Chain A
Amino acid sequence: MRRDITLVVNGEEHRVTVADGETLLAVLRDRLNLTGTKRGCDQGDCGACTVLLDGRPVASCLVLAADAQGKTITTVEGLAAGGRLHPVQEAFVRHFATQCGFCTPGMVMAAVGLLGENPHPTEDEVREALAGNLCRCTGYGAIVRAVLDVAGRGDGDA
C-alpha cells in the first residue's frame, strides 16, 4: 500500500509517496537525499539514525515515515544556520569528538535533544542520554567533553 504524505524536515515541506512499511530513515536517505542521517544497524540498537521528532531523539529506523507526518522532524542537516555550525557541532570540532564520523550525526542529534530538555546536564546525565549512541573510535571521552562544554559545565579541557 502506498500513500502520499507530507513531511516537514528541517522546516521544509516535502511531499512524497511512500510505502506503508517504509521507515523514516529510508525516506530521509533514499527519497529526500538527506544522507547525513546514517544507517548503522537498522534495528534501533546503535543510535546512528537518531533524528529529532518534535524535539525528542528517536531511532528513525524504527519510525514509519507515515507516522512522521504532522511532526517536526530535525535531522543533522537542519542544525547549522546561516552557514554556521550549531554550538554542539562546533564543540565536536573543537574537542576532536569526531574520528571516523559515522556515529557523529546521531550523536550530535542526541546531544541537541538532551540540551533542549536539560540545558546544563551533569556528566552522568550526558552519559545516560548518549548511552544509546555507539561509537567505536573515540571511547566517548571527547564526545562527553564536547557536550559538557556546550552545557557550560566543561572544565576547559580541550
Chain B
Amino acid sequence: MEMPEFQVIGRPTTKLDAADKAAGRAVYLDDLRRPGMLHARVLRSPHAHARIVAVDTARARALPGVKAVITARDLPGRNIGFGLDNPPLKGEKVCSVGDEVAAVAAVDEDTAAAACSLIEVVYEELPAVFGPEEAMRPGAPVVHPEKPDNVSLHYHFAAGEVERALETSHAVVEGRFQLPFVTPCCLETHGVIAEFDLQGNLTVWSTTQVPFLYQKELADALGLPGSRIRVVKATIGGGFGSKLELYPFEVAVAELARRTGRPVKMVHTREEEFAASRPRTPMVIDMRTGADREGRLTVRTATCYMDNGAYNSWGAINPLVGMQTVTSLYRVPCVRYDAFVVYTNNPYSGAMRGYGNPQATFAVESQMDMLAFELGLDPLRLRLLNANRPGEVTHQKMRITTCGLAGCLEKAAAAAELPAVREEGKLYGVGLAGYLHVGGGARVYRSDGCGAQVKIDDLGKVTLVTGATEIGQGSETVLAQIVAETLGVPLSMVRVVNTDTDLTPWDVGTHASRTTFIAGNAALAAARRAKGKLLALAAEQLAVSPEELEITGGRVRVRGREGPGVPYDRVVRAAHFRTGGAVIQAAAYYDPPTERQDENYAGNISAAYSFGAQAAVVAVDPATGRVEVLKVVSVHDAGRILNPLAARGQVEGGVSMGLGYALTERLVVEQGRVLNPGFLDYRLMTTADMPPVEAVFLEEADPQGPFGAKGLGEPPAVPTAAAVANAVYRACGVRVFELPVTPERLLAAIRARGTSGGLRQATTM
C-alpha cells in the first residue's frame, strides 16, 4: 500500500495526558472532593434469592454522623438496565447476592458502613438457581415472574439448509465449550459523586464510559428531566466495558444527594468491585462445524446458554456479537445460531472487552483446529481456504470492505516458531486463531454518532470538543492527531475537551472499538470545516482564491509559491479584530452509513470490520498440567495505524487480558457468591507472567475510516484463548473445552486420555 507522508498521523505519538499521569497529577474520581461532601455506602443482600419481609432503618438513622438512609420506597422513577427489570434499591425481593437494599449517607465512610450494619433486614430465603440450563428446566425457581421459564431473551438466526449440510458433510466436529465468569478489574473501581444545586439541577461526576446514555438513564431512574442533569468526567482509570452502564448504587447516591442537599460520594471497595460490578457473560456453547473433503466449510451451528444473572444488562446483548462470529467468521454456507439469555440468581453479567466475541471465537476457532486434524489438513491452510475476503456480504448482511484476514493468518503463523532450545520433559506447540470484529462502530442503538467541534483561537490554540470518552486507551491523543494533521498545525497546539455533557456534543459512548473510527471521522469533518473557514479568511487577506492555499507546519502558503507563508493564528487575529470580524469554529456530527439489524438480525451494523489473527507458542509440563506461554504474535488488519505507540499498547494490553482468560482468571461464583473477590485469588497476569508479545499491523487504508483507520480496542483480547487452547492441543494432544486452561484441568484431561501414546511432541505448522 502506498503510504502518503503525514506529519502527525502514523507517527509514534506520546499521550497528551501522559506527563500528568506519570507525575500523579491526573485527577480521578476518588481524588475529587466537593465542599460539604458526604460519603455513602450501600447495604447489600447476603442472599441470592429472598423476599424482603421487613427493613428497619431506625438504629442506622440514629447513629451520629448519619445524614440520610434510604430504601426502595424512597426512590422515585423506575427500574434501570436494558429490559428495565432492575430496581436501584430492591423492595420486594433480592435476586442475587450483593443486591442493593438500602443506602446511607454519612460524614465519613466508616460511619456510613457502621450505619449499614445497623440496618435490620428480615429476609425470607427462596429457592435459587445458579446455572442457565438448570434455570431453563421446568420447576426451576423463577427469578422474574414475567419470565416464568427464566429465558429473558432468545436469539435465533439461520441461513442455508443446515440439517442437510450436517448430514452430508464429509466431516463434522462437535463440542461443548464452557466459558466462565471473568471480570474487567479496572485498577480504578467504580465511583460517583452526585450534587444538586438549589434549582434542582444535578451534576454527577462519574467513571462512566457513556456519559450521554448514562445521563438519560439516570434521569429516567430519578424521575428528573434529562436536561437537568450534567455528567462530568474525571480521568477514568480503565473501563473495559464495566463502566458502560448505570449501576444501582449510582441512582441511590443521587437520591441521597437530593435528600441531604449535599454532595454525596461513593466509590466501590475492591471487594465490591469484584462482587458487584459487571463480569463477562459465562456461556455454554454447543457447536458443530462441518466441512467437505477438501476442507471447505459447509455448516456451523451453535446453541448458547448464557448465564445472564439476576437482571438484564449488556450481557443480554452479547449474543448479537457472538452471532456475528458464528455466522460470519470464515465463509460458511449454512449457519444456525441460537442463544438463550437466561436469568439465574448469579451476579448479572455486563459488557467486557470483546463483548461475546471471545466466547464465540473460542468455540469457532477451537473447532477449526478440530476439523483440520479430522481432515488431516494443516490448520493454517484450512483457515486460508475459508477466509473472508474483501467485498463480501455475510449472511447477516455485514458488508465487508477491507479485509486482511488471510494476510494476518499467514503472518501470525510464520512469525510463531517453536523455540530452538527446549527443556526436557516439556511438550511444545503453536496454535493459531483468527477473528472478526466490528471496526467501524456498531449500530446497536438507533444512533451510532459522535459530534465534534473545532475552535481555532487568536493565539493559535486549537480546541477539539468531542463527545467521545477517553478511558485510557489513547483516543484523545489520536483525535488530536487527526485534527492537527487535517489542519496542518503542530500537535502541540491542539487540546481536547471531552469531559462535560453540558459542553460536548453527543456521542453514544466508548464501546465496540468505535472511538477512533467514529469520533475520528467527526473530528476530521469538523477540522476540515474549520480549515475551510480559515482558508477562506486567508484567501481574502492574501487576495488569492482558497483553492490555491494550503497549511503546512502551521503556516498558510500559496501552493507552489516560495516564501514563509502566514502563521495561521495571524490569519485568525486579522479576521477577528476588526469591524464585522469573525472567529473560527466549526462543528460536525458523524453517524456512519450503517443500519441497525432488522428483526431477523440482518443489517450492516458497522461501516468497516477489523480482522486479525494470533499465534501462541506454548510449553506444556505434562506432569503438572502447567502451560507456559512463550510468545504471542498478534497480527491485525485495523486499517491505517494512526498512532503506533497506542496501537501497540492496545495489542499488548489486550493479549494480557486474553491470556488471563485463557489460563489464570476465573471469578469463582458458588451458590451465587463470589468466593475470590480479591487480587490474591483472582489472578491477573503480572510482569513476571507475561510472555513477549509481538504486535504486527498489516495496514491497508479503509475507505471509510479517518485516514483509513479501523477499530482496534477490543480485538487483541478476542482470539487469544483459542490460540492458546489450540497450541496446547498441538503440544500434548489434549483439547480443553473449558476456560481457563488451568494446570489442574489440563492434567485431569491428560490423565483421562491416558498417559502413554497420546502425548506426542509438536510438529511445526
Contact = CB atoms under 8 A, between A and B. Distances in A.
B687 A101 contact: no
A89 B684 CA distance: 24
Contacts of A131: 686-688
B679 interface: yes
B155 interface: no
B649 A99 contact: yes
B240 A136 contact: yes
Contact of B238 (A79, A100, A140, A144): A100
A48 B15 CA distance: 21
Classify the secondary structure of A's interface with B.
loop
Given A35-B27, A105-B24, A131-B686, A98 B18 contact: yes
Nearest to A132: B686
B206 to A, nearest CB: 15
Nearest to A77: B24
Contact of A101 (B14, B237, B657): B237
B460 interface: no
A138 B653 contact: yes
Nearest to B274: A41
B23 A141 contact: no
Contacts of B28: 38, 102
A75 B648 contact: no
Nearest to B656: A139
Contact of B24 (A76, A137, A142): A76
B119 to A, nearest CB: 23
Given A40-B270, A80-B23, A136 B473 contact: no
Contacts of B235: 100-101
Interface in B14-31: 14-15, 17-28, 30-31
Interface in B469-490: 471-474
A75 B31 CA distance: 15
Given A40-B270, A134-B686, A140-B690, A48 B187 contact: yes
A42 B240 CA distance: 22
Listed residue (B17, B23, B656) with the most chain A CB atoms within 10 angstroms of its CB: B23
Nearest to B646: A96
B187 A134 contact: yes
B127 interface: no
Q: Which of A37, A43, A104 has the most CB of B within 10 A?
A: A104
Nearest to B472: A100
B27, B31, B653, B687: most-surrounded residue (chain A CB, <10 A): B687
B18 A92 contact: yes
A85 B238 contact: no
B174 to A, nearest CB: 35
Interface string A40-52: 1111011010000
A93 B685 CA distance: 23
Interface residues of A, number: 54
Contact of A136 (B184, B645, B678): B184
B22 A100 contact: no
Interface in A121-151: 126-128, 130-144
A94 interface: yes
A78 to B, nearest CB: 9
B186 A136 contact: yes
Nearest to A109: B24
B433 interface: no
A84 B474 CA distance: 23
Contacts of B270: 40-43, 46
Contact of A137 (B12, B27, B472, B686): B472
B15 A39 contact: no
A36 interface: yes
Contacts of B693: 139, 141
Nearest to B647: A96
A158 interface: yes
Interface in A78-124: 79-80, 85, 89-90, 92-96, 98-105, 108
Interface in B655-691: 655-657, 678-680, 684-688, 690
B31 A35 contact: yes
Query: What does DSSP make chain B's interface, helix, strand, loop or mixed?
Result: loop
A137 B653 contact: yes
A75 B24 contact: yes
Contact of B23 (A36, A39, A130): A36
B22 A134 contact: no
Contact of B187 (A42, A46, A85, A142): A46
B649 A104 contact: no
Contacts of A38: 28, 30, 187-188, 237
B612 to A, nearest CB: 16
Given A36-B23, A100-B238, 16 more contacts: A38-B237, A40-B188, A42-B269, A45-B679, A93-B18, A95-B645, A96-B474, A101-B235, A102-B188, A136-B238, A139-B649, A139-B651, A139-B685, A140-B656, A141-B693, A142-B649
Contacts of A45: 678-680
B654 interface: yes
Given A45-B679, A133-B687, A136-B186, A77 B23 contact: yes
Contacts of B236: 100
Given A38-B28, A101-B235, A104-B21, A136 B652 contact: no
Contacts of A144: 687
A27 to B, nearest CB: 14
B723 to A, nearest CB: 15
B185 interface: yes
Contacts of B186: 100, 102, 136
A89 B686 contact: no
24 contacts: A36-B23, A36-B24, A37-B24, A39-B30, A40-B188, A41-B679, A43-B270, A76-B23, A76-B24, A92-B18, A93-B22, A96-B12, A99-B473, A101-B20, A101-B235, A104-B21, A131-B687, A132-B686, A136-B187, A136-B653, A137-B472, A137-B473, A139-B652, A140-B656
Contacts of B185: 134, 136
Given A89-B19, A127-B688, A140 B188 contact: no
B624 to A, nearest CB: 21
A141 B653 CA distance: 8
Nearest to A134: B684
